[in-house]
Amino acid sequence: MWLGHNRLTRVDRALFSDLLLIQRVYLTNNSISHIEDRAFEPMQALKFLDLSLNRLSRVSGHTFADLHELEELYLAGNGLQTIEPRALTSLKKLRTLDLSDNSLAILHDSIFQEGLPIRLLNLRNCSVSRVDSGAFRGLNNLNELNLEHNRLTAGSLRQLDIPGLRVLHISGNNLSAVQSNALEGLPSLQFLTLNNAHISKLPRALLNANKDLAHLELCDNRLKQLGRDVFASLKGLRELRLARNSFLEVPYSSLGNLTSLEVFTMSGNLLTGVDVSRLSGLIRLRELDLSRNTISSLSGFASANLSQLSSVDLSRNSLAALPANFFHLSTSLRRLDLARNKFRQIPTAALNLPGLGWLNLTGNPLSRIHDLSSVRLYPSMQEIHISGTNLTIVTSKDFEAFPALLHLFLDVNRISRVSPGAFRSLPNLLTLDLGVNELELLPQERLQGLSRLRLLNLTHNRLKELEEYPQDLKSLQILDLSFNQVTRVGKWTFRHLENLAELHLYGNWISTVASDAFRPLKKLRVLDLSRNYLEKLPLSAFRPLETQIRSLRTEENPLHCGCDSQELWEWLRDHQKLVGVTTRGLRCEHPPELRGLPFLDLEPPRFCSTPLILKLAIQDIQPFSVIVSWQSRNHSGLHGYRVAYHALDRNDAVRGKLLERGSRTVKLGKLSPDTLYLICVVGLGNWATGGNMTHPLLSDSASTRCTEVRTLEAASVGEGLPEGGSILTRRLGLIVGSCMGFVVFIVLVSVLGYLKLKKQRASSKRDQPLPQEYISYRHFSIQSGDHAQTVNIGTTSLTS
């Protein structure tokens, strides 16, 4: 049952009278100051009760008397001052009790009864200043006790007689006078935190009774040295933290027998040098933290066989160089932090560590990556951090020694130039961070070869133009180009980034975005164009993304709120889940009267008074028809038009026609002559539908323009004829005309055919040869003796 975060002030018996089977009740963060005795009596099955953050000041013997099955009870942050003796006696199954952030002051000897099965007891910040003898007697199952940030003194530790306790948090108390026998009542202790306890000297025998101790924290104290045998009995100690004390040197003599130690921290002390050979006894050491000191020299690596060492933190020291044999015997070393020292290049000569996989050189005064003459190959290096340095150029040879590199961070430098092929030797690179540098240009060739790159960060540079990203970046998922000086986004800039999921372009100078700029980005989920100079948001570029994108940010652009923005307004209204609450940051910059107003809080008439239909004209007015033509302004949200009309002289139903969006004229027929009509052209879009149009809607508006026209009187021949008779007359004339034309065509074809046939016959007669009878006649009319001559002469005469 959840009753938390309400205004309950008391709990009466009637509240839970019928809740017999409830197992968990949350009453946290109310104002409950009184609980009636036996208020929880009906809840015999209750196992969990949270009453934290209320105003209870007292727990009586009857408050929880009937909760026999309760296992977890939370009373933190109430201001409790009194818990009556034996008030918790009936909680026979209680495992967790949280009394933190109260004002108990004294833990009396009957506050926790013998036999309670509590395993975790939290008394943090309870203003406890005294612990009576026997306060924890009989809590044989208690495993963890938190007494941090109270007012306890060293004498109170002797009252902690809990043989089975394994975890004790007692930091933030004044234990400056701690005695050797303070922890004798905790023989099973495994985890002890004594941070910020004002301890300046650790008694030699303090931990002799705690032979099972595995984790010890003594941070934020005033320790300057440790006795030789202070840890002599801790054969199983695995983690020792001595951070933020006043040690001038590592307490080598105290560490000699800690053969099980795995984690050793001495950050934030006053160390100036370290002899690693004196740590050789720590044969199982895995993590060594010497950060935040003033170490300027390291020695003793020749004999330091820390073969299990995997992580070394030397950050925030004064190192300018490393010994040539730096941890050369630690073949398991994987992680090295050298941040904020005084290195001017990667100490490649000293880092003869073929297994090194993580290197941090952030905050060093590096002017170059490394010395090419001494470069070695690092086949296992996967991540390098070189941030906050003096680097100005990345050369083509800088990363050839790191063929397995996966993550490269070069942010917050002064890099103004990347040489050709600088990253070509990194085919496995997943992350490239070049943010906060001085790059003005990054040619696409510089990114070739990065076929596995997932994240490219170029934020806070000086890029003015975006070249087309190479096809090699097909695996890129996150691209951050924020806070540059980009002015436009071209059509082909991102066309090869087919797996891009996040694109950050905020804080640029972008004023133009190509309509197809984002069309190839089929997997884009986040697009941020806020804080640019877009007077008109590129709606045509957003439309291809609307089914896939999850977050679109456009706030803080100098939007011009006019008629051209109406479609954008409609689109953003339809996609408010996509743009979210950030649209309140999208405000009008122009015109002056709308400056500063949230764009989506306006209604279209506020920023666009120009109607959709600009002009409407009636042409070719006839008795039975008219032609309607119009002009409209561009609006891609327009679906089409409806031309509606009806007679004003009589009761007449509204008629109309639906037209495509490209239409600009239509002929209205079947009208009555000499009749006054109201004709309206209505633009159809998201603001209107093409359904039935009622008469009250036929009036001028933002999407409608109307006019009146009277048809001509009918001609005298047709006077009195109904419209159907007029149509019949026109059809009869058409039929008669067609028949007459057909007859004329037949006659014309016949005449032309006859003339052609006659001409062909005349031509045939002229070309016919002489008949045989005519030749014979001439033959017989000439004497036989002159036959040959006569024939020849005749022939010549005919051909001459």
Return d(Cα 545, Cα 501) in angstroms, integer: 11
Residue 748, domain member (yes or no): no
Is the pLDDT confidence value at 778 over 50?
A: no
**DSSP string over 449-476:** T-TT--EEE--SS-----PPPPGGGTT-
Question: Any idea what DSSP says for residue 715?
Answer: P
Average pLDDT on 98-121 reads 89
Name, in order, each residue with C-beta under 8 angstroms of 566's C-beta and a sequence gap of 6 or more.
Answer: 604, 607, 608, 635, 637
Q: Where are the beta strands (DSSP E) in 70-213?
A: 72-74, 82-83, 96-98, 106-107, 120-122, 130-131, 144-146, 167-169, 191-193
Q: 14: burial class by Cβ within 10 Å (0-12, 13-18, 19+)? A: exposed
Q: Which two tokens stand for residue 74?
A: 């939370």
State the virtual CA torsion across 527, 530, 532, 536 in degrees, nearest 10: 80
For 4-36, the pLDDT digits (tens) are 999 999 998 888 887 788 899 999 999 999 998
Average pLDDT on 785-795 reads 39
pLDDT of residue 582: 60
The model carries a pTM of: 0.76
pLDDT of residue 352: 79
For 432-490, the pLDDT digits (tens) are 999 999 999 999 999 999 999 999 999 999 999 999 999 999 999 999 999 999 999 99
Place of tokens 């053969």: 259
Q: Which of 203, 201, 153 is nearest to 174 (CA)?
A: 153
633: containing domain: 610-710
Task: Categorize the per-residue pLDDT at 638 as very low, low, confident or very high, splitting at 50, 70 and 90.
Answer: confident
Is the pLDDT confidence value at 115 over 90?
A: no
Is the pLDDT confidence value at 142 over 50?
A: yes
Is the pLDDT confidence value at 423 over 50?
A: yes
The count of structural domains within the chain is: 1
> Looking at this protein, which amino acid is placed at residue 490?
G
Is the pLDDT confidence value at 685 over 90?
A: no
User: Given CA atoms 340, 341, 343, 346 in this order, what sign does their dihedral have?
Assistant: negative
Q: Which of 296, 290, 362 is nearest to 323 (CA)?
A: 296
pLDDT of residue 200: 95
Q: Is 114 left (phi over 0), alpha (psi -120 to 50) or beta?
A: beta
Return d(Cα 583, Cα 574) in angstroms, integer: 12
Q: Which two tokens stand for residue 508?
A: 């640029």
Is the pLDDT confidence value at 704 over 80?
A: yes
Task: Categorize the per-residue pLDDT at 740 as very low, low, confident or very high, splitting at 50, 70 and 90.
Answer: confident
Is the pLDDT confidence value at 798 over 60?
A: no
Q: Is 600 left (phi over 0), alpha (psi -120 to 50) or beta?
A: alpha
pLDDT of residue 788: 40
Task: Categorize the per-residue pLDDT at 615 as very low, low, confident or very high, splitting at 50, 70 and 90.
Answer: confident
Return d(Cα 726, Cα 720) in angstroms, integer: 10
Q: How many CB atoms lie within 10 A of CB 440?
A: 14
Mean pLDDT rounded to a whole number for the chain? 87
SS3 617: strand
**Residues above pLDDT 90, as percent of the chain:** 55
For 327-351, the pLDDT digits (tens) are 999 999 999 999 999 999 988 877 8
Residue 467, domain member (yes or no): no
pLDDT of residue 460: 98
Q: What is the CATH number of the domain that holds 643?
A: 2.60.40.10
Return d(Cα 227, Cα 364) in angstroms, integer: 37
Q: Which residues of 592-612 are buried (b: 16+ CB within 10 A; e: fewer)?
A: eebeeeebeebebeebbeebb
Is the pLDDT confidence value at 279 over 90?
A: yes
